[in-house]
Structure 1
């Protein structure tokens, strides 16, 4: 044996030793991922005004120049918050000329404009205080409205939000709902919370004045309080996920912490991952067909909520396609889910899940858009923007083709609400890609395509929220219920969040385009503006006033648009700077004079126990009557330091009630 070992050693010694091949260098990561600022020089523009406070606009040097003309706004810092590129505040640089025009006149604390702003903010704080529920009534109580009203609110929800985002199993929900009215057995608390959130969302579309706002706010507070109970493990179930999703939509509908929904959506995502919803049920222990399909539906809706809130808030989605393998929902009608032998309908056949399935096909691209705009170190080039734009348009055309195939069939078809909401969303994703280049495009011809996309999409989004058929009827439309029969228009008027903020941004971008056209005009004859753009801005101003009449307490969006439209009119007439200044100041003062009586009426209504107090005469009105709800505690459940679509712009931050400056 020893001799054999020696022979082997001798043979090994005669074998030439090969050098190990040189190790290939690792794949080079993009410099922006290794160090986001390594090759991207940023130019921060700081603006501070009496009405706006201090804002830091972080511009990136572009291929076409540096600074305001060629720099691309990548984010905005305000107080303790940083807003990514998809947040509409990145357009703040487009309004820096207005404060420089009238800043000196607003420095005086006794000016009519400043006094008017303070008066309106004081009333707004009082109204919010009156609307908040008493702490002792925060636990869920059976204070349902009469059955006919509750039926109407449920129908509002089912034909709108549920038609796009699948959350509930409708037959099960209706069975449990009917049992509440027909049985003496106390209802399940979790279902009562779920039901009240459905009612709260439906209330935002019940009428054009949001007459049930006070009840809807209370229902949302009850749900948030119930979810905050520390019984975490016992609530890791499908019903709690449904309640959490409904709460996101209800907060937007009622304007309760709607600006911080992105934070809550992230928490919900992690809860769902903890429960394994990011793994397709086929890879998990055996579950019923019903549970497997509901998990797919809920995961899909959670993904939709995540990218939607990311787009609105300017926050990164913090998710990638490699984080899940859950398949999209199957094309089943709700009634089929209780039959384990059910087979999905053909793709061309419309079911209650078809809209969600069609929209899901575009999810990878929409996720890519939010990551491209809002991820840390996002410094996408214009060429990359155009590439994603082309891919998004292709996906949009395919989506339209799919949905149009359903509408041309003789069977069930998608609701008008669903079609318009999807159209609105896809246009918003396209527009968000180009808004960072909109400011530079006003002076740099290389970005002209972005200018066209932003203006055209803004006009199209406005026409979706406020169709021509409603505008043609004017004030009579509301009287005759024309607007009332349009669920999306009602939601945009009475609700908060996505549709409201995007519609407001669309009007401001159109206003900037009009102002720029006037400043670019080189002609001896009066300039001619596109009538449809002018009409859109004026209509948006009237729309903002309708929102205040429906219970919105923040008047500053209306004030801003009044000043901007006045400036456009002055430029059209060729007025001198001093005359323009005088008219802008008058516009600000007049807007406050219009809004102040509306806010006063809201305060009086709350003081007299008005609002929707008379509606709580259905199941289990709270002991002591609704007057108990008038005395409220601080908004501890929702005091997240958030800022809504417009209020922070004027220093009127949600839940804090302290007035502050406005950046225009």
Structure 2
């Protein structure tokens, strides 16, 4: 509740020194509690407290990926030692209430492991075959308590509960684990396996609760802003996984038509990522549909979540560069204009963040030097605006190919 309250107070200005001070005090007191409680021995509420500590560290330390990943490793090992990886139905001594709460805690731990591991470009600590804990039920807190003898059946997914978004996100995150294993594997995987994962990702998207199915904003005026923002977050996760799956096939000769689906899918996913970035920027303004969820603007544009937007920028820039350096790659005027507009709109965001983010400085350097965005007029299509840019001819495609795949920019 303390973390939720601090987040609520930080809606208008998360960088407010007073808010930062409160988070710092809460983090320090949480750490003291863990040490005094000898957290390495496990016990009741230790995992929940560690998760709160991890959230505070994430709030305070925008650039410290390694530290967060190490803390998450501690959480995973403690959870395993306490049997959270086995479904409570295996243990008759665990009450229905405690069992359901354990499922909720485990679901959070699995999602944190998947997200932090993917951000570090490292394999997940947990593997699906290591646990059989099922996903939590779609229940309201009033549906059960400590005295419940039999857990009530899960509510239909047409009923929105505080758990429903976590269930939806968990289904996409499960796909993240499968995709992450492939992109981090040292051996090559056949293209048929990539396409099989692509189909599974589409099935995971289709399995989302109806309320979280993406609808254009023009059809969402009667939908709660929180629901719309959750749709955006889910779509960003889906498009990121789509790029991870297919980005490798941007580089091979385009005469190999067997990869045509992957090329088109990857570029379209990158376009969607930047379109969602524009939605967040515009609709969280004072008169926007998502203004009540303006906290998400800061969350999405902070260092770690912003990586998905950097990935979209790098893919589009790389694709445009291919069209200028290889005769077998073409870019039609309509797509070129759309890409140009999205990159132009993204430029001010990265420029604003250059004082606090190394990634933002790299993005600005790349967009400025490689595409000449500072000098070009907005109305000039990208396919034409980059044609006479001197820096384009100096670009090392071999080096940038792999950097782009990892969502990085050349130094």
- Taking structure 2 as the reference length, what is the TM-score of the superposition? 0.77
Contact 2:371 2:386 in 1 (8 A): no
Matched, 1:243 2:49: yes
Q: Distance in 2 between matches of 1:560 and 1:220?
A: 39
Superposed counterparts of 1:187-226, under 5 Å: 195=2, 197-199=3-5, 201-202=7-8, 206-207=11-12, 210-212=15-17, 214-215=20-21, 218-219=24-25, 222=28, 225-226=31-32
Quick check: 1:663 aligned with 2:372? Answer: no
CA contact (8 A) 2:85 2:133 kept: yes
- Say which of 563, 572, 586 aligns to 2:385: 572
Q: In the alignment, which residue of structure 1 is the partner of 2:299?
A: 491
**Alpha-carbon deviation of 1:369?**
1.5
- 1:271 has 2:84 as partner: no
Q: 1:546 to 1:424 in 2, by over 3 A?
A: same
Q: CA deviation at 1:237?
A: 3.5
Structure with more of its chain in helix, by fraction: 2
Q: Distance in 2 between matches of 1:378 and 1:198?
A: 43
The 2-side partners of 1:519 and 1:381 are apart by 28
Task: Check 1:663–1:510 CA distance in 2 against 1; reply closer, same or farther (3 A cut).
Answer: closer
TM-superposed CA distance for 1:250, in Å, is: 3.5
Deviation at 1:241, TM superposition (A): 1.4
Does the C-alpha gap of structure 1 residues 302 and 230 become closer, same or farther in structure 2, counting only changes over 3 Å?
A: same
Identify which of 328, 334, 343 aligns with 2:152. 343
In the other structure, the counterpart of 1:458 is: 270
In structure 2, what is the equivalent of residue 312 of structure 1?
Answer: 119
CA separation of 1:543/1:224 partners in 2, compared to 1, >3 Å: closer, same or farther?
Answer: farther
Q: Secondary structure at the match of 1:415?
A: helix
Q: Give the aligned partner of residue 397 of structure 2.
A: none
C-alpha separation in 2, matches of 1:234 and 1:487: 34
Residue correspondence of structure 1 range 286-301 to structure 2 within 5 A: 286-301=93-108
**Residue in 2 that maps onto 1:383:** 192
Take 2:34 and 2:278, find their aligned partners in 1: how far apart are those partners?
38
Equivalent of 1:374 in 184, 192, 208: 184
Aligned mates of 2:167, 2:390 — CA distance in 1:
55
Deviation of 1:441 after TM superposition, in Å, equals 6.0
1:451-490 deviations in whole A, cap 9, x for unaligned?
Answer: 212211112122223318x54x8xxx75667775334323
Matches within 5 A, 1:37-116: none
Q: Describe the SS at the equivalent of 1:322.
A: helix
Deviations 1:290-311 (A, max 9, x none): 3221100010111111112222
Structure 1 gaps of 5+ residues are 1-172, 174-194, 582-644, 650-661
Q: Does the CA contact (< 8 Å) of 2:85 and 2:131 recur in 1?
A: yes
CA distance in 1, matches of 2:291, 2:410: 35
Q: Report if aligned partners of 1:517, 1:529 keep a CA contact under 8 Å in 2.
A: no
Deviation sequence 1:199-228 (CA, Å, 0-9, x none): 55556x512563246426624752674377
1:579-590 map, 5 Å:
none
Shift, 1:278, TM fit? 0.7
1:382 deviates by 1.9
Q: For the aligned residues, what is the CA RMSD?
A: 4.0
Are the counterparts in 2 of residues 200 and 220 from structure 1 also a CA contact under 8 Å?
no
Query: How far apart in 2 are the matches of 1:200 and 1:243?
Result: 16
Conserved in 2, the CA contact under 8 Å of 1:332 and 1:353?
yes
Q: Find the counterpart in structure 2 of residue 397 from structure 1.
A: 206
| C-alpha distance in structure 1 between counterparts of 2:290 and 2:226, whole Å | 20
Distance of aligned partners of 1:245 and 1:520 in 2 relative to their CA distance in 1, 3 Å threshold: same
Q: Kindly tell me: are residues 355 and 458 of structure 1, through their superposed partners in 2, closer, same or farther at Cα, counting changes over 3 Å? A: same
Distance 2:29 2:256 in 1: 50
Q: Could you list the per-position Cα deviations for residues 180-207 of structure 1 after superposition, in whole angstroms to 9, with x for gaps in the alignment?
A: xxxxxxxxxxxxxxx2x4455556x512
1:386 positional shift: 1.2
When residues 434 and 248 of structure 1 are mapped into structure 2, their CA distance, relative to the original with a 3 A threshold, is farther
The answer to whether the 8 Å contact 2:20/2:60 transfers is no
TM-score scaled to structure 1, two decimals?
A: 0.50
- Residues 1:355 and 2:165 are matched in the alignment: yes
Q: Structure 1 pair 253/536, CA: closer, same or farther in 2 (3 Å)? A: farther
Largest Rg, 1 or 2: 1
Q: How many residues align?
A: 379
